[in-house]
Amino acid sequence: MVPRWTEKFGTGGAVIAALACPICFPKLALVGTALGLSIFAPYEKYVALGVQALFVVAFVGQALGFRAHGNRRLLAFSAFVTVLVFAGYYVVPSSILLQLALAGLVLASVWQVVVIRRCASCAAGTGRESSRGYASERGHEH
C-alpha cells in the first residue's frame, strides 16, 4: 500500500521551507517572519535546496499514489509542478514561477486526497479494482 505520509510530508515540508526562504518566495516572507522562520535567512541557499528536495519527495508520494488510484491527469499535473519548480530555480529564475509551483503542489496534494476519498478501492486499501483491470482516467470506476 502507498505510504500516504510521503506526499503529505513533502508538501508540508516544502510549504514550511518556502516560508523560510524570503528571496525565493517574497509573497510568503511576511508569514514566515511572523512565524519566526526568518532565523533561517542566513541559510537560504540550503533552504532552497530543501524546498527542491521536498518537491521531489512530494512527487514520489504522488507517483506512489498513482499506483493506487490510477489518475493520469493528477500524476501529469504533479510532474508539471515539479518541473516548474526546477525551471523557476535554474532555467528562468523567477519568484513567480516558484510561487506558482508551490501553489500547484498544494493543489495537487488536495486533489490527491479528494481522488483517494472518492476511490473506494483506494480507501479500502485493496488497490485498483476495475472490470478491465485498470482504473479509469478519473481515478475510480464504479
pLDDT at site 6: 65
pLDDT at site 72: 93
Give the count of alpha carbons within 13 A of 112, CB side only: 31
> With bands split at pLDDT 50, 70 and 90, how would you rate the model's confidence at 112?
confident
Between the two ends of the chain, the Cα-to-Cα distance in Å is 21
Q: What is the Cα–Cα distance from 26 to 7, expressed in whole angstroms?
A: 25
Q: What is the Cα–Cα distance from 8 to 10, expressed in whole angstroms?
A: 5
Cell 498544494, residue located? 106
Q: What is the pLDDT of residues 43-93, one digit of tens each?
A: 888 888 888 988 998 898 888 888 877 889 999 999 999 999 999 999 998
Q: What is the mean pLDDT of residues 105-112?
A: 89
Q: Please, is 86 exposed, middle or buried when counting C-beta atoms within 10 Å of its C-beta (0-12, 13-18, 19+)?
A: middle
Query: Residue ranges per domain, the chain?
Result: 5-123
Q: What is the mean pLDDT of residues 32-42?
A: 75
Asked if residues 31 and 47 have their Cβ atoms less than 8 Å apart, the reply is: no
